[in-house]
Amino acid sequence: MSLQEMIQNQPIVATKKKDAVHVGTLRMLRAAIKNREVELQAGLDDQEILRLIRTQIKQRKESIRQFKEGGRDDLVNKEEQELAVLMSFMPEQLSVEAINDVVAAMIQELGAKDMKDMGRVMKTVMGQLAGSADGKLVNEMVRKHLSH
């Protein structure tokens, strides 16, 4: 079953369970997918949908940060629940050690020596890890390896 089919079918199950947050989050996600399809005038594949979900996740994390600063715990809770729903569609995240191994191997394979090679290494590593690692974490690891 494709990712899009899963997203289309889950609101039915969530509605039967009377899970309003889950239903609302999935509706917002489906609307974002539909908007992107209209924008591109084509259907989205799983990788494009994952990219869109990552964007939604970043938005939720930023909202959580801002709501915490503003003392709005009620909204923080709602955003965290939505974040959990979105995270359920993401592939299993790699461990820090596994990401470090991939970064080290890619730096050696590309022959990267210093920070000038940062962009090339990041592009290759993120292409290989596609959704299974946080870009911020990968960036920190690449910087650490190249600065030595």
Residue type present at position 45: D
Six token digits for residue 38: 């209209």
- pLDDT tens sequence across 42-58: 888 888 888 899 899 99
How many beta carbons lie within 10 A of that of residue 139, not counting itself? Answer: 16
- The answer to whether residues 83 and 65 belong to one domain is yes
Q: What is the pTM of this model?
A: 0.70
- The answer to whether residues 83 and 102 belong to one domain is no
- The answer to whether residues 60 and 127 belong to one domain is no
Domain range spanning residue 42? Answer: 3-87
CATH number at residue 113: 1.10.10.410
- pLDDT tens sequence across 111-123: 888 888 888 888 8
Six token digits for residue 140: 């920190």
Q: What share of the chain is helix, strand, coil (3-state, %, to 5)?
A: 80, 0, 20
- The answer to whether residues 44 and 78 belong to one domain is yes
- pLDDT tens sequence across 69-80: 999 999 999 999
Residue bearing tokens 């809770």: 77
How many C-alpha atoms does 127 have within 13 Å on its Cβ side?
7
DSSP letter for 78, please.
H
Number of structural domains the chain divides into: 2
- pLDDT tens sequence across 79-119: 999 999 998 888 788 888 888 888 888 888 888 888 888 88
